[in-house]
Chains A and B, each alone.
Chain A
Amino acid sequence: AQSVTQPDIHITVSEGASLELRCNYSYGATPYLFWYVQSPGQGLQLLLKYFSGDTLVQGIKGFEAEFKRSQSSFNLRKPSVHWSDAAEYFCAVYSMGGGSNYKLTFGKGTLLTVNP
C-alpha cells in the first residue's frame, strides 16, 4: 500500500536558520508528490508539487523540495526561516484508489516551531 512517512514529529529552529523537513514515500510507480502547510485551525495550503522533470522544485514562500528516487524521498527546504513559517507541514503522495480513482495520502505532519 502507498504510504508517506514524516520521521520528525516536531522541529524547532531559530529564526534565520536553515530548515529541512524530511519525507519518505512508498509507491511503486512514478509518484506525484506535494507539500502542504497548515496554520492552526485552518485548511491546508499547497507549497509545491512534483510531477515529473526537474527533481528540484520551487514553491511559494521561498520553499523548495528535492525529489530523490533512489532514496524515495521528497525533502522540503528553506535557506532562512521566518517566524511566520511556524506551522504544521504535510507531505502527500497521489496513489491509486479503487478502479481508476486516485486519492491523496498524507503523512502525519511535522510541527515547526521558530524561536526568535
Chain B
Amino acid sequence: DGGITQSPKYLFRKEGQNVTLSCEQNLNHDAMYWYRQDPGQGLRLIYYSQIVNDFQKGDIAEGYSVSREKKESFPLTVTSAQKNPTAFYLCASSTLRDSPLHFGNGTRLTVT
C-alpha cells in the first residue's frame, strides 16, 4: 500500500544532542512537508520541499535542518539549537500545487 512512513513513533534524546527524524513516501509525490504540533498550537510548518535538492523554510525553521536528496525521502534534523524540541512531528506529502496533503502517523520526540 502507498503511504508515508515516519520512524520511529517515539524518540527520546538528551538535551544538546542532534536527532534525525525519518520520513519516507512511496506515493511518487513531488512535494514533502514537515510540521510541528504542540497542544493548542495547531500545526506549524517547519520546512517544505517541492523538488529534489530544493527546500524552503516554513514559519518556524530555526533550530531545524532538512535535506531532499531523493524524491522519496525528507529527513528532519532537530539540532541542539532548537530551544523547545519536545513535540509531535508530522511529515506530509502531496502532488504539486493545491493538492491535499497526505500525512504520516507522526513521531513524538521527547528531549530531557
Which A residues have a C-beta under 8 Å from some C-beta of B? 6, 9, 32, 34, 36, 41-46, 49, 51, 90, 94, 97-99, 101-109
Our count of residue pairs bridging A and B at CB distance below 8 angstroms stands at 64
Q: Is the interface of B mostly helix, strand, loop or mixed?
A: strand
A-contacting 9-mer, from B11-19, B36-44, B62-70: B36-44
Contact A106 to B98, CB < 8 A, known contacts A43-B90, A43-B104: no
Which B residues have a C-beta under 8 Å from some C-beta of A? 4, 33, 35, 40-45, 48, 50, 56-58, 88, 90, 92, 97-98, 100-106, 108
Q: Which of B42, B57, B103 contacts A43 (CB 8 A)?
A: B103
Q: Is the CB of A104 within 8 A of B33?
A: yes
Q: Which of A94, A99, A103 contacts B58 (CB 8 A)?
A: A103
Interface centre among A41, A44, A107, A109 (most CB of B within 10 A): A44
Q: Complex: how many Å from CA A46 to CA B104? A: 12
Q: Complex: how many Å from CA A109 to CA B37? A: 11
Q: Which of B40, B56, B101 contacts A104 (CB 8 A)?
A: B101
Q: Which of A43, A105, A108, A109 contacts B105 (CB 8 A)?
A: A43
Q: Is the CB of B103 within 8 A of A105?
A: no
Q: Complex: how many Å from CA A6 to CA B43? A: 13
Q: Is the CB of B90 within 8 A of A44?
A: yes
9 residue pairs from A and B, CB less than 8 Å apart: A32-B98, A45-B103, A46-B100, A98-B57, A103-B45, A104-B33, A104-B45, A106-B43, A107-B42
Q: Complex: how many Å from CA A32 to CA B44? A: 18
Q: Is the CB of B98 within 8 A of A94?
A: yes
